[in-house]
Amino acid sequence: MSATLITGGLVLEEDGPAVADVLVVDGVVADVAPDLAAHGAEVLDASGCWVGPGFVDLHTHLREPGGEYKEDIASGTAAAAAGGYTAVVAMPNTDPAVDAGHLARFVAERGAAAGYVDVMPAGCLSAGRRGTALAHLDELWEAGVRLFTDDGDSVEDAGLLRRAMEYLQQLGGVVVQHAIDRGLAAGGHMHEGTVSSRLGMQGVPALAEEIVVARDLALVRLTGARYHIQHVSTAGTVALVAEAKAAGLPVTAEVTPHHLAFCHDDVATTDPVFKMMPPLRTAEDRRVLRAALEEGVIDVVATDHAPHAPHEKDVPFEEAPNGVIGLEWAAAVVSSVCNLDAETFFTRMSITPAAIAGLADHGRRIGPGRVANLVVFDPAGEWVATTTVSRSGNAPYLGRPWRGSVAATMLRGRITSAPVGIRR
């Protein structure tokens, strides 16, 4: 029998946050109350910290199969655990792409073998992500896939998207869109605006995202399918989402930590660590994104953790691939730049993402009988990172101070991450 007692933290219980101890026995929460007795359990001092459901990331690139030199499932999920995550949804734009059941099962099994977090594979919407024919949606569903996306590319063919929506609406799956119009974005490396004009660089206009979202929402209205927008980056998209929700459409939206933290002024350094798609937008867009996350117009934080090897990113800006990693800093960034109380924080980081993905054992408030997938988070802890747990180092967060650190992560009662400084 293994037992852990987490003492003195602000625990997100069924009725709300309260200071209490949490006793975990054999992977399940046994009791939640103040001043519990240890009875031989390992004691974890969580005073000053929040104790809540482990974070759930709806958007992670684990790069396995095919891209293991950047990251693999083991190293990526280790980074996730370091960042307080207990579950991640792995994006299917691997090599080969996850457009069939056996590939989805492979990813899930590798995740289980590594043992850091629960890995739920996402599946492609179109075969091979080519955007011409549907992927084996049934097979993927049988293999446990619930989110479907061609992430990396948007589904441009409205007819194909409509068929996918109609099909998945019956199953209850979620259509997830990487909303960037290929024609409007062609040749662009950063946000089209004042900074790109100063640098003389081709940019991607905000419209490239908004035009796809606007079209897709019309299809959602037609089909009633569940629809989730990845990495919202513009104020215009936020407005479209708010309007759709007001109309009662089954729409959810995510925002990345880097879009919350940075803007296109950071790109002026031409350091490729600030290059991703969609690009960093204006400071005003960033302000709207933060407010939207606080208010709930944007439902969740999702990292779009996108590892690239140093030799790929250490090149001139225009030649670098898009993407930055973020699993290790997501919670810290949200804590540093947004004003969220414990309830809202865990809603955005854990509860809602788990609900969207249908992960029953994750994102649950702490109560007796529930699986112990927890995180202990210090909202005031200041820290600076100089290295990464991820195999790749393309993180714009390095070398900067952030306020909010993960004290411990627990997957089914087992501590998966205990950074230096954990108090026992």
Partner 1 sequence: MRHLLTTEGMARAEIESYLDDADEFVDVLARPIPKVPALRGKTVATLFFEPSTRTKMSFDKAAKALSADTVSFSPGTSSLKKGESLKDTVLTIEAMGLDLIVVRHEATGAPWRVAAWASVPVVNGGDGAHQHPTQALLDSLTLRRRFGGRRGGLDGLRIGIVGDIRHSRVARSDIHAFTALGADVTLVAPPTLLPLDTTGWPVVTAGTLDDVLPELDAVYVLRVQAERGGASVFPSFAEYRSRFGMTADRLRRLKPDAVVMHPGPMIRGVEIDAAVADDPRCLVLDQVANGVAVRMAVLFQLLGGTRGDASRPVERPAERVLVGGEQ
Residue among 57, 99, 181, 192 that touches partner 1 (CB under 8 A): 192
Site string for partner 1, 65-94 (x = CB under 8 A): ------------------------------
Per the CB < 8 A criterion, the answer to whether 186 and 199 are in contact is no
Segment lying near partner 1 (by CB under 8 A), choices 87-95, 128-136, 314-322, 332-340: 314-322
Q: Which is nearer to partner 1, 295 or 318 (CB)?
A: 318
Say how far apart CA 282 and CA 280 lie, in whole Å.
Answer: 7
Q: How many residues sit close enough to partner 1 to count as binding (CB under 8 A)?
A: 21
Question: To the nearest whole angstrom, how small is the minimum distance from the Cβ of residue 292 to partner 1?
Answer: 24
Q: Binding of partner 1 at residue 397 (CB under 8 A)?
A: no
Q: What is the DSSP letter of 371?
A: B
Q: Judged by CB under 8 A, does residue 21 bind partner 1?
A: no
Dump the DSSP string for 210-242.
HHHHHHHHHHHHHH--EEEE-S---HHHHHHHH
Q: Which stretch binds partner 1 (CB under 8 A): 147-155, 169-177, 311-319, 331-339?
A: 311-319
CA angle 394, 65, 156 (to 5 degrees): 80
Q: Which stretch binds partner 1 (CB under 8 A): 132-140, 196-204, 294-302, 327-335?
A: 196-204
Tokens of 16: 């709300």
Q: Work out whether 311 is an interface residue with partner 1 (CB under 8 A).
A: yes
Can residue 314 be called a binding residue for partner 1 (CB under 8 A)?
Answer: yes
Can residue 284 be called a binding residue for partner 1 (CB under 8 A)? no
Structural tokens at position 372: 């112990």
What would you report as the CA-atom Rg of the chain, rounded to the nearest whole angstrom?
21
| Best CA proximity match to 122, nearest among 293, 296, 353 | 353
Asked if 38 is part of the footprint of partner 1 (rule: CB under 8 A), the reply reads no
Residue 269 makes contact with partner 1 by CB under 8 A: yes
At residue 258, what is the residue type?
Answer: H
DSSP line for 35-69: S---TTPEEEE-TTSEEEEPEEEEEE---TTT-TT
- CB closer to partner 1, 54 vs 203: 203
Q: Of 304, 341, 361, 378, which residue is the catalytic one?
A: 304
- CA–CA separation, 134 vs 163, rounded Å? 8
Q: How far is the CB of 197 from partner 1 (least distance, A)?
A: 4
Query: Minimal distance in Å, beta carbon 284 to partner 1?
Result: 13
User: Could you give the count of Cα atoms lying within 13 Å of 382 in the half-sphere of its Cβ?
Assistant: 3
Identified binder of partner 1 from the candidate list 199, 211, 242, 291, rule CB under 8 A? 199
Distance CA 204, CA 187 (A): 8
The span of 61-69, 193-201, 248-256, 408-416 binding partner 1 (CB under 8 A) equals 193-201
When asked if residue 266 is in the footprint of partner 1 (CB under 8 A), the reply is no
Q: Which residues are CB-contacts of 124 (< 8 A; sequence separation ≥ 6)?
A: 92, 93, 97, 98, 99, 135, 140, 148, 149, 150
Query: Any residues with CB less than 8 A from the CB of 223 and at least 6 apart, and which?
Result: 162, 165, 166, 169
Contact stretch for partner 1 (CB under 8 A) within 82-90, 198-206, 382-390, 391-399:
198-206
Shortest Å, Cβ 242 to partner 1: 27
Q: Does the protein bind partner 1 through residue 194 (CB under 8 A)?
A: yes
**Would you count residue 203 as binding partner 1 (CB under 8 A)?**
yes
For residues 209 and 300, the answer to whether their CB atoms sit within 8 Å is: no
User: 13 pairs with which residues across the strands?
Assistant: 16, 366
Site for partner 1 in 131-190 (CB under 8 A): 189
Distances (CA, A) of 152 to 6, 169, 180, 306, 311: 40, 23, 9, 10, 21
Q: Is 200 a binder of partner 1 (CB under 8 A)?
A: yes
Only one of the segments 112-120, 156-164, 309-317, 374-382 lies at the binding site for partner 1 (rule: CB under 8 A); that segment is 309-317
Nearest of 290, 294, 228, 295 to residue 259 by alpha carbon:
290
Q: Is 318 in the site for partner 1 (CB under 8 A)?
A: yes
Q: How far is the CB of 198 from partner 1 (least distance, A)?
A: 7
Burial of 360 (0-12, 13-18, 19+ CB in 10 A): exposed
Q: Residue 47 or 269: which CB sits closer to partner 1?
A: 269
The answer to whether 196 contacts partner 1 (rule: CB under 8 A) is yes
304 is catalytic: yes
Residues that bind partner 1 (CB under 8 A): 189, 192-194, 196-201, 203, 269-271, 311, 314-319
Q: Which residues are catalytic?
A: 304
